[in-house]
Structure 1
Amino acid sequence: MTVWALGINHTTAPLDLRGRFTFAIDQVEPTLRRFRETLAHQPEAALISTCNRTEIYCASEKPHLEHTLDWLAETGGVSPALLRAHSYTLEDSMAARHAFRVTSGLDSMVLGETQILGQVKNAVRVAEAAGALGNTLSQLFQRSFAVAKEVRTSTEIGAHSISMAAAAVRLAGQLFEDLGEARMLFVGAGEMIELCATHFAAKNPKCMVIANRTLERGEKLASRFGGEVMHLAELPDRLHEFDAIISCTASTLPIIGLGTVERALKKRKRRPMFMVDLAVPRDIEQEVKALEDVYLYTVDDLSSVVQTAQASRQAAVAQAEAIVDAGVMSFMHWIDQRGSVPLIQQLNAQADEWRAHEIARARKMLARGADVDAVLEALSKGLTQKMLHGAMAELRAGDAQAREHVSTAIHHFFLRKER
């Protein structure tokens, strides 16, 4: 069995290319089914899609890396050559190592962050619901979760880490003298917006408003911070009211355009606006960044901020990598053992057949009134003869070299002294 992975992430691909390969959670199951149907022997498969990465993990008797790359390129509407230039392909132990590092937060933009673990668990649940998860990938991910737990509990990998939300607060603090006077708008109501709102709420801004397509979900989040809620459709008319805008939705197209921001700036009489677009694909049109009095940061722009505490965590990283190494070795040993399962099953079946035959013969002898000791003697001899017949036949057949190999095997399997 071979495991392979193909992916792009924040270190290999620009934001706009990553945006072409972003799959909402409800798109993953049909996407997996379409992919598996492209191969005659449907492989095990799982698809992980987050702001910073899209990865597909597969397992089958033979790897199909080129096919997987061509399929993903077609799905994203780009050429295979372009995707190849920005992607990575991994097999067996390297694929396992990558999966373990991802779930442990070692491959994240924010070193040691924990959000990715929940995202991978969700992806695994969807793959299982789609019938795409077999024994091999199930073992891979369950072991990756165990490794991630050990990394979290045994190292300080997450200590002093700067989250994306904290980085946004830090940048906003550089622009505004007092965040307590800032009017905040959060676009979306998902996990990332909730995290950002929590961080900004600690600065007691003048007001906090949640804009969302569904008011019910927005109200639930706004109530936590004593904030207000508005419908997303109101955004163009009210954007000028806010000093800082944090956006992260699942929209496939930008929801804040250049014209909307230009009109808002005019109404604000050129007072600056701080904008953070944490969505992939973008929520805010790229051209907005060129406007004067707008400070727009994307998820990639925040990477330099969140890396500032890297050096102090190098010892923890070394410990975490050692845990990952041990996990990879254990998984690959399990894979190797899986290759012997069919032979073990055949051997057990043959032994059961011999045993059943000899027991049936012994019962017939007992029914005829044979002595019990004689029956037991015949039973044991019958079993041992059947077990040794193949080895004895091989010793008598073949050339000298073949007999030498057989002799070595016999010494190894039958004549070892028990310790």
Structure 2
Amino acid sequence: MNRKIILIGLNHRTAGVDVREKFALTDVDNFEKGLMAHCPVRECMCLSTCNRVEIIAISKRVPEREVVEAIIQYWAAVCKGSPEVLIDNTYQHRELDAVKHLFTVACSLDSMVMGEPQILGQLKDAYRKAADEGTAKTIINRLLHKSFSVAKRVRTETAIASSAVSISYAAVELAKKIFGNLDGTRAMMVGAGEMAELAVTHLLQNGVQDTIVANRTLSRAKELTQSLGGEAIQIEHLPDRLHEVDIVISSTGSPVSVIKAKDVKAVLKRRKFKPMFFIDIAVPRDIDPDVNQLDNVYLYDIDDLKEVVEDNMAQRQEEANKARAVVDAETMIFSNWLNSLALQPTIVDLVDKSEEIALRELSKTLKKIGPVNEKTRKSLETLVLSVGRKSLHEPICFLKRRTQEEGAAERFIDLARRMFNLDDETVPVTAHQNRKANTCTPEDIEHLIDVSKNKEQ
């Protein structure tokens, strides 16, 4: 297949939060358009979350190395970072490995929190945007829809999601370890997305007395507080209210810090240096890392939540093994579809060549037998086209069977194209000089056929 599936990404396993925030994509729509304009790709889609950035691309008919290099260079340029740093922290998957990896991501088997549902929603949002922008086409459309069905099958057939913790749950558990007891504490959520909603729910369930939700869009913050309680404020008023809370959990999409060290330093004085606990689950980070240098301040980022997550993950390893078996099976099913896609142009070329030959021979015959009426001409045309198509049934069925064998598609498609000379190649006169000289004119072939049939009789 000329169109190769290439996946390049970085995640919480390959890169620290400092690298992830550097190469996070804050304007995915324009990034995808730029990839299409500046890189040799036919289709693309990007996923950017707090724990990963993944770029899925379908290459044009150029060497894979050129595609990968172009994507890395463009990604680094957009993020104003070093291509070398990006290469050191990314992973690359091709063809079925890329398919399997994406299925694994959709099923949350590759998440920091195995079994969490947020990644599937994020993947659906990313696909919807790429489809709307026209960067996701035939192969990515099929690949993503298949990813969603694989994730659904895993959740139906396994218990991978049972007792799964979310990032927000892990953040609250970390807060409990610091404070011991959250009863009577006050908390602030910065951001009002799904992570914030989950965090507020967990905080309230664990005894937090009051919550404040600070968000750029006040109406969204009010929606959240109306359903869960608490007070909604505009994010610009955040510095004036920080002194009122003991716990701050931040999860916005801001490309720059929203809480500065100088602001927290002033807040500590107003609190008489009473301890404050900050959890930054955003990438890029919302809270200035220098906050951690202040006395009586405990700042944790998303990478610090791994210990809480790993305790929970051990319980679900058996279910994860079942889920991976589903992913393996579904990857092979998708492979069959990819192989059939690779075969389609060859089938079209076979039929076109057969019809061209049939109509050419019919034209010769009509010249010999003289004029016929239109009805007779159409009947003869239908006859020769039908004979041509039916003579291709067995070769096409053979190709469909053999191209579904692992690693066999390219070899058999190439053999068929050469056997039927579908690419109109001309054999050089100097080719095969060490073999017995044989001409291959149409007359020679007709003679060979007649001789062969006579011998058979």
Which band: TM-score by shorter chain? 0.7 to 0.9
2:129 alignment counterpart: 126
- 1:324 shift after superposition: 0.9
1:148 and 2:151 matched? yes
Task: Using structure 2 for the length normalisation, give the TM-score.
Answer: 0.78
1:414 alignment counterpart: none
1:152-167 aligned at under 5 Å gives the runs 152-167=155-170
- 1:181 shift after superposition: 0.2
Q: CA separation of 1:401/1:177 partners in 2, compared to 1, >3 Å: closer, same or farther?
A: farther
1:188-267 aligned at under 5 Å gives the runs 188-267=191-270
- 1:170 shift after superposition: 1.4
2:120 alignment counterpart: 117
1:33 alignment counterpart: 33
1:22 alignment counterpart: 24
2:55 is aligned with what amino acid?
Answer: I
Q: Distance in 1 between matches of 2:35 and 2:280?
A: 31
Q: CA deviation digits over 1:238-294, x for unaligned, max 9?
A: 211101111111111111111111111111112111111111111111011122211
Q: Distance in 1 between matches of 2:293 and 2:375?
A: 102
SS in 1 for 2:303: coil
- 1:89 shift after superposition: 1.2
Q: CA separation of 1:228/1:345 partners in 2, compared to 1, >3 Å: closer, same or farther?
A: same
1:83 alignment counterpart: 86
Q: CA separation of 1:369/1:49 partners in 2, compared to 1, >3 Å: closer, same or farther?
A: closer
1:416 alignment counterpart: none
Q: Conserved in 2, the CA contact under 8 Å of 1:18 and 1:281?
A: yes
1:15 is aligned with what amino acid?
Answer: V
SS in 2 for 1:22: coil
Q: CA separation of 1:338/1:401 partners in 2, compared to 1, >3 Å: closer, same or farther?
A: farther
Q: Conserved in 1, the CA contact under 8 Å of 2:213 and 2:232?
A: yes
Q: Distance in 1 between matches of 2:332 and 2:186?
A: 52
1:190 is aligned with what amino acid?
Answer: G
Task: Using structure 1 for the length normalisation, give the TM-score.
Answer: 0.84
1:125 is aligned with what amino acid?
Answer: R
Q: Distance in 2 between matches of 1:224 and 1:385?
A: 65
Q: Conserved in 2, the CA contact under 8 Å of 1:358 and 1:383?
A: no
Q: CA separation of 1:387/1:74 partners in 2, compared to 1, >3 Å: closer, same or farther?
A: same
Unaligned runs of 5+ in 1: 393-397, 411-419
2:424 alignment counterpart: none
2:48 alignment counterpart: 49
Q: CA separation of 1:355/1:239 partners in 2, compared to 1, >3 Å: closer, same or farther?
A: same
2:58 is aligned with what amino acid?
Answer: A
Q: Distance in 2 between matches of 1:32 and 1:23?
A: 10
SS in 2 for 1:217: helix
Q: CA separation of 1:206/1:43 partners in 2, compared to 1, >3 Å: closer, same or farther?
A: same
Q: Conserved in 2, the CA contact under 8 Å of 1:110 and 1:164?
A: yes
SS in 2 for 1:44: strand
Q: Distance in 2 between matches of 1:385 and 1:136?
A: 28
1:168 and 2:168 matched? no
Alignment identity in percent?
Answer: 37
1:186 and 2:185 matched? no
TM-align CA RMSD: 3.3
Q: CA separation of 1:18/1:146 partners in 2, compared to 1, >3 Å: closer, same or farther?
A: same
1:88-103 aligned at under 5 Å gives the runs 88-103=91-106
SS in 2 for 1:340: helix
Q: Distance in 2 between matches of 1:107 and 1:85?
A: 20
Q: Conserved in 2, the CA contact under 8 Å of 1:358 and 1:379?
A: no
Q: CA deviation digits over 1:111-161, x for unaligned, max 9?
A: 111111111111111111221112111121111111111111111111222
Q: Distance in 2 between matches of 1:369 and 1:167?
A: 78
Q: CA deviation digits over 1:83-118, x for unaligned, max 9?
A: 111111111111111111111101100011111111
Tell me whether 61-70 or 318-327 shows the greater mean CA deviation.
61-70
Task: Give the aligned length.
Answer: 391
1:395 alignment counterpart: none
- 1:12 shift after superposition: 0.8
1:337-416 aligned at under 5 Å gives the runs 337-352=340-355, 383=387
Q: Distance in 2 between matches of 1:368 and 1:252?
A: 72
Q: CA separation of 1:384/1:369 partners in 2, compared to 1, >3 Å: closer, same or farther?
A: closer
Q: Conserved in 1, the CA contact under 8 Å of 2:8 and 2:55?
A: yes
1:4 alignment counterpart: 6
Q: Conserved in 1, the CA contact under 8 Å of 2:358 and 2:385?
A: no
Q: Conserved in 2, the CA contact under 8 Å of 1:47 and 1:55?
A: yes
Q: Conserved in 2, the CA contact under 8 Å of 1:359 and 1:379?
A: no
SS in 1 for 2:292: helix
1:206 is aligned with what amino acid?
Answer: Q
SS in 2 for 1:308: helix
Q: Conserved in 2, the CA contact under 8 Å of 1:358 and 1:382?
A: no
1:136 and 2:139 matched? yes
1:324 is aligned with what amino acid?
Answer: V
1:330 alignment counterpart: 333
Q: CA deviation digits over 1:63-94, x for unaligned, max 9?
A: 21111111111122122111111111111111
1:238 is aligned with what amino acid?
Answer: R
Q: CA deviation digits over 1:380-402, x for unaligned, max 9?
A: 899479959xx99xxxxx97899
2:47 is aligned with what amino acid?
Answer: I
* Match of residue 309, structure 2, among 306, 309, 332: 306
Q: Conserved in 2, the CA contact under 8 Å of 1:273 and 1:293?
A: yes
Q: CA deviation digits over 1:199-234, x for unaligned, max 9?
A: 112234221111122221111111112211122222
1:182 is aligned with what amino acid?
Answer: T
Q: Distance in 2 between matches of 1:204 and 1:280?
A: 28
Q: CA deviation digits over 1:356-408, x for unaligned, max 9?
A: 7899989x9996999xxxx99x95899479959xx99xxxxx978999xx9xx
Tell me whether 10-19 or 349-358 shows the greater mean CA deviation.
349-358
Q: CA deviation digits over 1:304-354, x for unaligned, max 9?
A: 111112222121111111111112212222222222111101222344556
* Match of residue 110, structure 2, among 104, 107, 111: 107
